[in-house]
Copies of this chain bind each other. A is one copy, B any other.
Amino acid sequence: MTNATISYDDLTNASANAVRSAIRKGAYTGHTAGLAAGKLQCNLAILPQEFALDFLRFCQRNPKPCPVVGISDNGDPKLPTLGHDIDIRTDVAMYRVFRGGALSEEVTDISDVWTDGFVTVALGCSFTFENALMRNGIPVRHLETGRNVPMFKTNIDLVPAGRFGGQMVVTMRPIPAEQVDTAREISRRFPQAHGAPIAVGDPAQIGIDDLAVPDWGDAVDIKDGEIPVYWACGVTPQNVLLDANLPICITHSPGHMLIADVAEDAETTILT
């Protein structure tokens, strides 16, 4: 049940602020890929403040899957370093509320759930480097074919902090062999968006059994002359939060990101 009245196509040329405004009113509840072109989009982790210090430690120790781009004050729904007038209770199109480590509800507004005890942590997202790859003539298969990026659990241990830990989740994109070095060089320029690849080539080296069977998202074809390239994935912190079995935490729903006013290729993610 939704009162959504604005379509994706209506928003394709809208500003970040206009997209957030449509979302805030409940008029748009769809995904945000490709909206507000050039602006930083963010993964979201909202958690009780008593876990925030350990979660920030965890993110600092695992910067490729968990690049922190914004942190709220305790109980403050604003994120002034990421955008003008962001209200994190209403400005994301779809949220997932987890209680005791299990999905409890998926909602378009968390005003009813919000308490003064929450801290919001915003994390960078792969949209940023995918846009840069495409600007540089490197194809991104799942976007070409209208699919979701394939995501895989790996055997790469994360550096733990407090109750946060586990294994890294990666995305896979097939890249023409002669463009792998360029893809590495370009994505490395975006430490706020997972940076350079974690691995290239044989999936077995990082504990992936079968590239045709992703743990999340859609399988994509790997053509002759292409090599599978693996990047750290923003689903990692979501999984880690789930496994941490917090009394409550909130994330965005996959693909429904927070859109910031910060340019995605800015040197820092702090609005000036």
Q: Which residues of A contact B (CB under 8 A)?
A: 49, 52-53, 56-57, 60-64, 68, 70-71, 73, 81, 159, 161-162, 188, 191, 195-196, 267-270
B64 engages A60 (CB within 8 Å): no
Q: How far, in angstroms, from A71 to B161 measured CA to CA in the complex?
A: 10
* Given contact pairs A196-B267, A267-B196, A270-B159, A81 touches B53 in the complex (Cβ within 8 A): no
Residue from B56, B62, B159, B267 within 8 A of A191 (CB atoms): B267
- Whole-angstrom distance from the CB of A14 to the nearest CB of chain B? 28
Instruction: Collect the chain B residues with CB atoms within 8 Å of residue A61's CB.
Output: 71, 81, 270
Considering the complex, give the chain B residue whose CB is closest to the CB of A269.
Answer: B63
Across the interface, do B159 and A195 meet the contact criterion of CB distance under 8 Å?
no
Q: In the complex, which residues of chain B have a beta carbon less than 8 angstroms from the beta carbon of A162?
A: 73
Docked complex Cα distance between A61 and B80 (Å): 10
Residues from chain B with a CB closer than 8 A to the CB of A81 are 61, 159
